[in-house]
Structure 1
Amino acid sequence: MTRSFDIAVIGATGSVGETLVQLLEERDFPVANLHLMASGDSAGGSLSFKGKNLRVRSLESFDFANVRLAFFTAGAAVTLEYAAQARAAGCAVIDLTGALPQEQAPRVIPEVNAEVLTTLAAPYLLASPSAPSIALASVLAVLGAHLSPQRLTVTACLAVSSRGRAGVSELARQTAELLNGRAFEPQLFDRQMAFNLLGQVDECDGEGHGALERRMALELKTLLAAPQLQVSATCIQAPVFFGDSFSVSLQCASAFDLQTLRDALEAAPAVEYVESGDYPTVVGDAVGQDEVYVGRVRAGLDDPCELNLWIASDNVRKGAALNAVQLAELLIKHYL
């Protein structure tokens, strides 16, 4: 008889939380009892799961001893406050907020570095990497078996859903106001987001690097087991509701065979390769899908050791909820 598990989703009313709940149902995850939790005013609603409407309860009074596994999607502050409490109760934790350091909560992508799980002990504490890192590492791990990258330069065009429901609502509001010829004051973003590109997505440090840019560099080196890899990341906010896009350039130690790389991408289970003459976009391709889409795979104009490509990925589904559910599937299959 297949075992089932009591599960908690912290931050169930957010876009990632809702998508996570949908994936638990879609993938027939062995859930005995699903506890939907939220903090503050977000509690009190309900979500559908396997034909039932489950009430979203307040996190403040929840006893983690009632569950074997908890997904944390409600933001860094909530993770920092409750993750240790969950583990103390014997509950495994998968964090999607990036609040915990790599040394405490290893970043894992099942298709890239699942072997990390063998080095951990119960109660398990794992983290799902940032959405950009998941998209990039899913592709770079495939290519890494066939070339020796020395430097990665990436421009990440991030959807406003990276800021949660508030980002989606703000872009919709600004767009409606502009199309109706009305003036508005930016709220979530520091300037007009609609029909615009913003040159950064979060506060920059004294050296001009954003927190997500630094996080991506660290995560990619760790995920790819390539501490020597030089990473240059620029994150921009794009006026797109869902789906991230990436312009990527890899400087390699030697020339490579393009057809070998294309064949490897074609065969990779978590990647959808789009052949030359076409290219993927988030709208119509990546959004709603479980794969990372990659196209425009080509050598540099003047340097045969340079590889350029274009990546599109669903930041909420593939870049957050799906990776977390896949981690949970590994845990229950081999470790819980």
Structure 2
Amino acid sequence: MSQSFDIAVIGATGTVGETIVQILEERDFPVGELHLLASAESAGSSVPFRGKNVRVREVDAFDFSRVRLAFFAAGPAVSLSFAPRALQAGCSVVDLSGAFPADQAPQVVPEINAARLAGLSGACLVASPSPSATALALVLAPLQDLLDIQRVDVTACLAVSTVGREGVSELARQTAELLNVRPLEPRFFDRQVAFNVLAQVGTPDADGHVALEKRLILELRQLLGLPLLKVAASCVQVPVFFGDSFSVSLQGARDVDLQAINERLEAAAGIELVEAGDYPTPVGDAVGQDVVYVGRVRGSMDDPKQLGLWLVSDNARKGAALNAVQLGELLIKDHV
């Protein structure tokens, strides 16, 4: 493509924002001028791009009419404040925060529902789902017609990078303190996370559910086009820097045909099926990769309509940044 586009990345100093910049370079995205934006606290730092260090500036004063496309990789508050301003300036937005309802920002994973972009025109707002919903939808979508999925039970073992750079720094600090036999003082997390597993990620509501669980359920239903799908989700914090893992149980209306399921997973885009008897891990397989790994594909011992799966995915790369950049590629092709 000979045409280039001026691009903005908001939240450029975060783990996902930096990964977006990296993937823009790797995929030779047709970037004209790249504008890296963040809060006042992060402004002034720089991020490498195409052999140069690009300085990060404050988002507050940025004129979005200078760019055609913006990736919002900061939190919901930032997206709610600045994405409308970008749209009014004629700039299309890919939002990763989950701040907007589906009727304002369709949830899209290009491998499974890119057709949702067809009806968009002008400066548009598109949502890149949470890393958990992206990984699960990629694997469940190819199986829907084989199983007629009725219920999904998932335990999501989330890396500390899910909660940002602070989570990564906290795990590193706690690990160093424990290995050096120093007293441990939790700061970012409310208790020890190093060499431990925390039963929740975030603060639960009155019913005991955390925001990540509710977002996962809502987005998975939207991505699969199954608004009444029964989903039970538990998000736990594990002492892994990058890479999420998911233990999944699917209840279908049809008997499980393992050969057909394995063939479908083998052929699906964005998925790497691990051979029977082996299994993938986040650190050994998923980190730095552009696919979701699937292993331990098995039927139930007492229910012919139940299927078990094990998934791993790089949350910052495959689940967030790559999906967002793929959406950007589709937008500049047909909509920007």
TM-score range, shorter chain: over 0.9
Question: Which residue of structure 2 lines up, in the alignment, with residue 97 of structure 1?
Answer: 97
Rounded Cα–Cα distance in structure 2 between residues aligned with 1:234 and 1:187: 24
For residue 256 of structure 1, report the CA deviation from its aligned partner.
2.3
d(CA) in 2 for partners of 1:223, 1:57: 34
Match of 1:244 in 2: 244
The reply to whether residue 297 of structure 1 matches residue 300 of structure 2 is: no
In structure 2, the residue matched to 1:33 is 33
1:148 aligned residue = 148
Corresponding residue of 1:63: 63
- What's the counterpart of residue 130 of structure 1? 130
Deviation at 1:119, TM superposition (A): 2.2
* Alignment check: 8 A CA contact 2:146 2:254 kept: no
Q: Deviations over 1:126-165 (max 9, x none)?
A: 1110010000000001111322110000000000000111
> CA–CA distance in 2 between the matches of 1:83 and 1:71?
9
How many residues were matched structurally?
336
Deviations 1:187-234 (A, max 9, x none): 111111111111110111111111111111111111000122100000
Code of the aligned partner of 1:6: D
Aligned pairs (5 A) from 1:281-296: 281-296=281-296
Identify unmatched segments of 5+ residues in structure 2. Answer: none
Write the letter of the residue equivalent to 2:319.
Answer: G
Partner Cα distance (2:48, 2:228) in 1: 46
TM-score (normalizing by structure 1): 0.98
Q: CA deviation at 1:285?
A: 0.5
Secondary structure (helix, strand or coil) at the match of 1:232 reads strand
Q: What is the CA–CA distance in structure 1 between the aligned matches of 2:50 and 2:145, rounded to whole Å?
A: 41
**Runs of 4+ off more than 2 Å:** none
Match in the other structure for 2:194: 194
- The Cα RMSD (Å) is 0.9
The one-character-per-residue Cα deviations of 1:74-97 (angstroms, maximum 9, x if unpaired) are 211111110111001000011111
Structure 1: which amino acid aligns with 2:78? V
Residue 85 of structure 1 aligns with an amino acid whose one-letter code is: R
Contact 2:10–2:70 under 8 Å retained in 1: yes
1:40 match: secondary structure = coil
1:144 is paired with a residue whose SS is helix
Which whole-Å CA distance do the structure 2 matches of 1:209 and 1:301 have between them?
A: 30
SS in 2 for 1:41: coil
Write the letter of the residue equivalent to 1:311.
Answer: L
Task: Quote how far apart the aligned CAs of 1:315 are.
Answer: 0.2
Q: Tell me what 2:322 maps to.
A: 322
Q: Which runs of 5+ in 1 are unaligned?
A: none
Alpha-carbon distance in 2 for matches of 1:54, 1:172: 27
Q: Residue type of the partner of 2:250?
A: L
Alpha-carbon deviation of 1:288? 0.3
* 1:268 lines up with 2:268 in the alignment: yes
SS in structure 2 at match of 1:263: helix
Q: Which amino acid aligns with 1:220?
A: L
For residues 164 and 220 of structure 2, what CA distance do their matches in structure 1 show?
23
3-state DSSP class of the match of 2:247? strand
Separation in structure 2 between the aligned mates of residue 317 and residue 298 of structure 1, nearest angstrom: 28
Could you give the per-residue CA deviations for residues 80-122 of structure 1, whole angstroms, max 9, x where no partner exists? 1101110010000111111222221111100111111112222
Aligned to 1:4: 4
Matches within 5 A, 1:172-191: 172-191=172-191
* 1:116 maps onto 2:82 in alignment: no
**For residue 213 of structure 2, what is the aligned residue in structure 1?**
213
Q: What amino acid is aligned across from residue 313 of structure 2 in structure 1?
A: S
Measure, in 1, the Cα distance between the counterparts of 2:39 and 2:126.
22
Aligned-partner SS, 1:60: coil
Q: Give the match for residue 169 of structure 2.
A: 169
**Residue 28 of structure 2 aligns to a residue in which SS?**
coil
Give TM-score, length-normalised by structure 2. 0.98
Shift of 1:183: 1.0
1:308 CA drift (Å): 0.2
Once the two structures are overlaid, the 10-residue window that deviates more, 118-127 or 287-296, is: 118-127
Which amino acid is the alignment partner of residue 34 of structure 1? L
Q: 1:77: which partner in 2?
A: 77
Name the aligned partner's letter for residue 216 of structure 1. L
- In 2, Cα distance between the equivalents of 1:48 and 1:206? 44
> Shift in Å at residue 179 of structure 1?
1.1
DSSP 3-state at the match of 2:36: strand
What corresponds to 2:46 in structure 1?
46
**Corresponding residue of 1:311:** 311
